[in-house]
Amino acid sequence: MMVMNAVEFLIHEHRLLEEHFEKSDFSRCREELIKHVNLEEEIFYPRLLKSDLFQETILEAWEDHNLCMQLLQELDGDLEEKFRQAKFSTLKKLTLEHFKEEEEKLFPTILKKASPAWLEEIGEVMKLHKPEIEADHVLYPEIPGSHRPKL
């Protein structure tokens, strides 16, 4: 596989996740979304937070992740089908909106400000780390104000 920089890697993940959402494949959505959120929160966002340029956007993105994880947690519960469907479609809406914001607001700024070598290195780190993430891995509240629900 060719080298993908961090932004290309994440956009590729967004497209795959959108396919899973299109097929309403809940278990794939759940697994891939948890992994994606883990990669961003463990590797990508903390590095960006070192620069003040991205702080506001990243903290908002973190809150989007929290909402998505909260919905996933609720979807794991015992729900009547009509409620499950409503929650799943809300999760889809939130996730796609979040991807759009990352791709339209965050990524273009990163591409403008960060060095290509740095972006490639982070892309590689995420690619290598992905197979190690357990789909049930609980995200840690590293950022003040983050309220990570337990999955």
Could you list the residues that contact Fe ion (CB under 5 A)? 10, 40, 102
CB of 16 or CB of 128, closer to Fe ion: 16
* CA-closest candidate to residue 134, choices 32, 15, 43: 32
CB of 37 to Fe ion, least distance (A): 6
CB of 32 to Fe ion, least distance (A): 11
DSSP 89: H
CB of 80 to Fe ion, least distance (A): 30
CB of 32 or CB of 40, closer to Fe ion: 40
Question: CA of 9: how far to CAs of 4, 12, 80, in Å?
Answer: 6, 5, 36
Distance, CA of 9 to chain centre:
12
CB of 11 or CB of 79, closer to Fe ion: 11
CB of 50 or CB of 82, closer to Fe ion: 50
CB of 8 to Fe ion, least distance (A): 12
Question: CA of 118: how far to CAs of 5, 44, 46, 48, 87, in Å?
Answer: 8, 11, 14, 11, 38
